[in-house]
Every structure is written in structure tokens, then in C-alpha cells.
């Protein structure tokens, strides 16, 4: 059976729901994808050939025998084609060499043409005789000459794709300042808007190096506890507002939201901390008429 027939058969909807699924990592990505192992006997660490929306790929078995809890019988999973053989490893080696050659050439051409873009990664698709170049840039880039130079040297189809820095970080992966693997590359399913107001609500120092991720944008984790902080901040006086304390009037310096405490500078310049129940807002003073 040739590879085309095998791939076509692989994408057909299964007649029965698979009892077990396996997790496979493709292109050394941290996040694995679920596949139907069919009747193959696979172990964690084995290299296998699978079909993807980008064609035939080599993947690594990351987890084995995951019970399929999907309720719908028409859920379609790609199947594992086979255990990788020597020909597959040679093809994978050729693909990697092609990508490295394309990356080196493209990087040199970007410098030569002085294009305002950053090359991030290369994906070669042998079955389509095409190489995709992913890049990031602040705005639109005129890369027509770059495509002509790449096509004349590489002798196959060229496609340029501009991606956002958050999407690129999700694919490339890495570690955050917390020391853990990036949320976007490990488990976070979708990106949602993150604003500087979330950092202010949580009382974080507005230092870009502290609240920005490796992508240069605000860290996704700022949103995780945002709603809890908003709820807990209710009833706390605003910063710089005037309040009355057991030790007299003062001005709010900051709120300790988690501890439900308020830091106040009293009129005698001493700084004290009180629980929110000990704080009373100063009533607005009525204006006296001019004499």
C-alpha cells in the first residue's frame, strides 16, 4: 500500500469509538495531541508516523492508554499509521537539513535586504514541496524580493506567515519567571485579553520585567486570580483616600487585599496597618460660607 492510500485511509471516520487514545508529541512540542493507536502495541518513547493537517509527521509517544471519555461517537481522531522505520528516520533527517538550510539562507537575506522582521521558525512540507517561514514584525513587511531570492535558491514553493509574539511563544515554548513551563505551550487552550488594570488590582509593582512574559506581553497568569482580587477588594478604601482609624485620621497608602488590611499614614507621619473593619471613611466635609 502506498503512502497516499495509507494517509487517506487514516483520515476516514472511525466506525466505532476508540476505547483508548495515546498522547503524541510532534516536532518536539511540549503539548501532546491525542491519536487513535488502532491495534498497534506502542510504548512511551517510541517514534511513530502520524497524519496531521500539515501532512505526514514523525511523533514521539508521550503517554499511553488514555481512556477515551468523549461522549459523542462521531468524534474523529487521527490514527497512528505505523511505528517509524529506517526510511522514516532518513526522511526526517532530510527534512531537518532542508529546514536548517532554509533558515540560514533566509536569515542572511533578511539582513541583506534590511527587512524589519524577525525570523522565528521554519516548517518544510516535503509532500507539498513547500517551506513555510514564520516571522514576527511590528507592522506589514514587503518581502516580495525575499520570496524571489528564497525560491530561486531552494527550488520549491515558499510561503511567508506573520504571527503574533504570543502565538510564537506558544509554539516555541520556554520557561516563565516562575520557573515553570509556559502556560501557553503546556496547557492554556486559548489566549484572552490581559490588561494593566489586572496588575493594578492585584497590587503588583508595575515593573515591565516583573509582569511581562517571555513574549514581551503581559503575563497570561495575571488573569487567573483577577476576579478573586476584584471581589476581595470590595469594601477596602481607595489609595490616597482619607480615612479615620483608631489612632486618628490618616491617608491610605496601599491595601493588603489578601490579608484585608489597610496601610495608613497618620497625620503625625507615622505609618500603621489596620484591618479593614477598623477603618472608617471620613464623611465629606460641608463647605462653610465665606464670611
Q: Domain residues for 135? A: 91-163
Residue 236 lies in a domain: no
Decide if 288 is inside a domain: no
- If phi over 0 gives left and psi between -120 and 50 gives alpha, with beta otherwise, what is residue 65? left
The pTM of this model reads 0.67
On whether both 37 and 12 belong to a single domain, the answer is yes
Residue 289 covered by a domain: no
Domain match, 38 and 109 both: no
Residue that finishes a domain, picked among 84, 113, 131: 84
In a domain, 27, yes or no: yes
Considering 205, 229, 253, which residue would you say is the last residue of a domain?
229
Q: Are residues 153 and 215 in the same domain?
A: no
**Of 68, 84, 100, which marks where a domain is finished?**
84
Q: Nearest CA to 261 among 205, 196, 203, 199? A: 203
Of 129, 109, 127, the C-alpha closest to 119 is 109
Q: How many domains does the chain have?
A: 4
pLDDT in tens, the chain (291 residues): 444 444 444 444 445 678 889 999 887 777 788 898 988 889 999 999 998 877 788 999 998 888 887 766 666 788 899 999 999 999 999 999 999 999 999 999 999 999 999 998 899 988 889 999 999 998 899 999 999 999 999 998 999 999 888 888 888 888 888 888 898 888 887 888 899 999 988 888 888 888 999 888 999 999 998 999 989 988 889 888 999 999 889 999 988 998 999 999 998 889 999 998 888 876 545 444 443
Do 136 and 158 fall into the same domain? yes
Q: Residue 177: which of 124, 136, 218 has the closest Cα?
A: 218
The answer on 211 and 195 residing in a single domain is yes
**Whether residues 102 and 148 fall in one domain:** yes
Helix/strand/coil for 272: strand
Amino acid at each position: 500500500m502506498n503512502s497516499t492510500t495509507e494517509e487517506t485511509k487514516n483520515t476516514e471516520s472511525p466506525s466505532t469509538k476508540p476505547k483508548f487514545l495515546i498522547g503524541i508529541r510532534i516536532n518536539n512540542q511540549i503539548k501532546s495531541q491525542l491519536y487513535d493507536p488502532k491495534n498497534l502495541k506502542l510504548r512511551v518513547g517510541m517514534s511513530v508516523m502520524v497524519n496531521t493537517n500539515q501532512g505526514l509527521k514523525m511523533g514521539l509517544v508521550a503517554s499511553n492508554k488514555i481512556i477515551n471519555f468523549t461522549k459523542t461517537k462521531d468524534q474523529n481522531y487521527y490514527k497512528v499509521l505505523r511505528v517509524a522505520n529506517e526510511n522514516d528516520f532518513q526522511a526526517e533527517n532530510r527534512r531537518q537539513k532542508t529546514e536548517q538550510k532554509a533558515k540560514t539562507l533566509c536569515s542572511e537575506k533578511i539582513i541583506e535586504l534590511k527587512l524589519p522582521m524577525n525570523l522565528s521558525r521554519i516548517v518544510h512540507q516535503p509532500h507539498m514541496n513547500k517551506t513555510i517561514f514564520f516571522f514576527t514584525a511590528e507592522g506589514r513587511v514587503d518581502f516580495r524580493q525575499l520570496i524571489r531570492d528564497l525560491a530561486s535558491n531552494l527550488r520549491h514553493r515558499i510561503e511567508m506567515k506573520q504571527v503574533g509574539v504570543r502565538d510564537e511563544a506558544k509554539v516555541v515554548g520556554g520557561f516563565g519567571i516562575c520557573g515553570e513551563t509556559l502556560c501557553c505551550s503546556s496547557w492554556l487552550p486559548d489566549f484572552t485579553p490581559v490588561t494593566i488594570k489586572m496588575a493594578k488590582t492585584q497590587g503588583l509593582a508595575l515593573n515591565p520585567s516583573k509582569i511581562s512574559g517571555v513574549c514581551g506581553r503581559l503575563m497570561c497568569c495575571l488573569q487567573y486570580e483577577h476576579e478573586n482580587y476584584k471581589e476581595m477588594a470590595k469594601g477596602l478604601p481607595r489609595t490616597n483616600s482619607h480615612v479615620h482609624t483608631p489612632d486618628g485620621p490618616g491617608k491610605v497608602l496601599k491595601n493588603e487585599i489578601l490579608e484585608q488590611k489597610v496601610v495608613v499614614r497618620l497625620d503625625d507621619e507615622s505609618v500603621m496597618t489596620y484591618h479593614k473593619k477598623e477603618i472608617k471613611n471620613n464623611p465629606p466635609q460641608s463647605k462653610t460660607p465665606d464670611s
